[in-house]
Chain A
Amino acid sequence: MNKILMSGNHTAAEAAIRAGCRAYFGYPITPQNELGEYMAEHMRKIGGAFIQSESELAAINMVVGAAAAGVRAMTSSSSPGISLKQEGLSFLSGFELPAVIVNIMRGGPGMGNIAPAQGDYFQATRGGGHGDYRTPVIAPGSIQEIADMTFLAFDIADRYRTPVMLLADGMMGQIKEPVIFPDFIDPQTLPKKEWALTGRGGKESRYLASLILDSNKMEQHNWNLFKKYEAITANETRYESYHTEDADVIVVAYGTTARIAKGAINQLREEEGLSVGLIRPITLWPFPSEILYTLAKDVKKFIALEMSTGQMVEDVRLALDGRAQTLFYGRPGGIIPEPDEFAHVIRDAVKS
């Protein structure tokens, strides 16, 4: 197909439909409303289910139901709404149900505002819901990547029977860039889900539960989940490496801030000849710790740039394990930092 100019929100919706998603449930909230709007128009055209639910809680539990029935299902929201969905995320993990949850982050805590922020990193990567689970979190860095990563999110969800979160922010939701979509997937051609509750017929009974009162069985369930998380860490960790070959200082940033950091890095390399590079985590969980640890053999200074007061920086510090210095600069509350501002911070880091 041709390249078209599309916003991040519309792109996530179109990509989901193309990836075989046939059930979308959501409740409106800025800055992700265009996603639900697009689904309202297009989902039914292709024979899928679109419901604007009465609340975020209803939406995520509808996702649980649709996923249990074996359908590729999605919900989306922005920060305060994602908080309301956390119980559902924990249940999806306990049930081992595949689903995709999109969080187009805004300023917080509380109702916050409607401007872009990255304050939900902890919530996304550390759980948010209760229990010993992990959620794969994918942070796209462009509109094309939103399209590609939406496909990837559904694939990881199905392959490992886990909810997957697509984490972006209001800026990624609103900007428009050219996108070429992958081809439509016919849901009928996807691998059969032998565990899905599709009606017993003449088959063996199937049963999905997250209530496991027998502690020995619950422990085994936890270890089974753990093995799955180990496999996801081994197979699904993704990052982009940008000018790291000759770098004296390496920036670590994801999503919007990574894009702005690239602008700053280009400026510093071209105008001032500074050797600075970027590692852009594409998966936030699993975090690309190994590459950071490897790079820290030669690079002694890393700087985490975020639209928060400092959340991902903790993963950077854990990854470096004392091998290199970790610096931080952030703008919380819905302020979008500028390339020139980042250039200033990175320049200081190089020269200090």
Chain B
Amino acid sequence: MLKTILCSGSGGQGTLTMGNVLANAAMQEGFFVSYLPCYGAAMRGGTAHCTTSISSEEIASPVVSFPDVLIALNKPSVTAFLPRMRPGSTLIYNEDLISDVPAKENVRIYPIAANQLARDAANERSANMVMLAAMVKVTSLLSLEALQRSAQDLMGSKKSLFAMTLNALQAGYADIV
């Protein structure tokens, strides 16, 4: 089993945090993982993306040509990475910031009202965690509890942030029926 997840968004949306929480969760669940953040002269409002690979075997390449899952937080992410989606892959996008995603053959597409859900459950800035939880539900990759444990590990010391994160994860997970 090898699953590759590309998270993409705008700097400040928590794109890299998403990939990091995911990689840490999968590691704690006993998988091999590799987390590749893009880096550069990045800033709030610039683009950011990261690739998380999760596998039952040792991971060969942290660099991925064709991701199994794309989590798109903003419109430029769809434009940039939809061409890399192959049949059988999954796109989860933030419908509050992205309109008209072109149909693509045999790509499962899930719109999530991430900003709205985050605003209702916690804080709009937790939209990334809403998306992450929706993704693990859609793909059955990990449990909600695994994400929660990982979040505790990484941000448990920041009480209010952690509380918001738990609520946002819950909301995103519950949004997929």
Which residues on the A side are within 8 Å of B41 (C-beta)?
114
Chain A 167-194 against B: per-residue CB contact (8 Å), 1 yes, 0 no? 0001100111110000000000000000
Which residues on the B side are within 8 Å of A264 (C-beta)?
61
Contact with A260, one of B23, B27, B32, B63 (Cβ below 8 angstroms): B63
A266 in the interface (beta carbon within 8 A): yes
In the complex with contacts A171-B36, A175-B34, A263-B23 CB distance below 8 A: no
Which residues on the A side are within 8 Å of B39 (C-beta)?
31, 114, 170, 174
Chain B 137-152 against A: per-residue CB contact (8 Å), 1 yes, 0 no? 0000000000000000
Which residue of the partner chain A has the closest CB to B64?
Answer: A339
In the complex with contacts A3-B27, A5-B23, A339-B65, A177-B35 CB distance below 8 A: yes
B37 and A175 contacting across the interface, CB-CB below 8 Å: yes
A115 and B40 contacting across the interface, CB-CB below 8 Å: yes
Tell me the complex Cα distance, A3–B61, Å.
20
B63 and A176 contacting across the interface, CB-CB below 8 Å: no
Chain B 16-44 against A: per-residue CB contact (8 Å), 1 yes, 0 no? 00001001100100001111110111000
Query: How many of chain B's residues have a CB under 8 angstroms from any CB in A?
Result: 21
Least Cβ distance of B51 to chain A in Å?
Answer: 9
Which residues on the B side are within 8 Å of A337 (C-beta)?
63
B36 and A175 contacting across the interface, CB-CB below 8 Å: yes
B27 and A336 contacting across the interface, CB-CB below 8 Å: no
Query: How many of chain A's residues have a CB under 8 angstroms from any CB in B?
Result: 26
Which residues on the B side are within 8 Å of A336 (C-beta)?
63
B60 and A263 contacting across the interface, CB-CB below 8 Å: yes
6 tightest A-B contacts by CB?
A263-B61, A262-B60, A340-B65, A176-B35, A263-B60, A338-B65
User: Interface of B with A (CB < 8 Å)?
Assistant: 20, 23-24, 27, 32-37, 39-41, 59-66
Tell me the complex Cα distance, A5–B153, Å.
11
A314 in the interface (beta carbon within 8 A): no
Tell me the complex Cα distance, A239–B62, Å.
20
A262 and B36 contacting across the interface, CB-CB below 8 Å: no
User: Interface of A with B (CB < 8 Å)?
Assistant: 3, 5, 31, 114-115, 170-171, 174-178, 259-266, 336-341
Contact with A259, one of B24, B32, B61, B65 (Cβ below 8 angstroms): B61
Tell me the complex Cα distance, A263–B36, Å.
15
Contact with A340, one of B24, B36, B66 (Cβ below 8 angstroms): B66
A5 and B40 contacting across the interface, CB-CB below 8 Å: no
9 other A-B residue contacts (CB within 8 Å) besides A5-B35, A176-B20: A114-B40, A171-B36, A175-B37, A175-B62, A177-B62, A259-B60, A263-B64, A339-B63, A341-B65
Least Cβ distance of B137 to chain A in Å?
Answer: 22
In the complex with contacts A5-B24, A174-B39, A338-B63 CB distance below 8 A: yes
Tell me the complex Cα distance, A259–B60, Å.
5
Contact sample, A vs B, 22 pairs, CB 8 Å cutoff: A3-B27, A5-B20, A5-B23, A5-B35, A114-B40, A115-B40, A170-B39, A171-B62, A175-B35, A175-B37, A175-B62, A176-B35, A177-B59, A178-B32, A262-B60, A263-B63, A266-B60, A338-B63, A338-B64, A338-B65, A340-B65, A341-B65
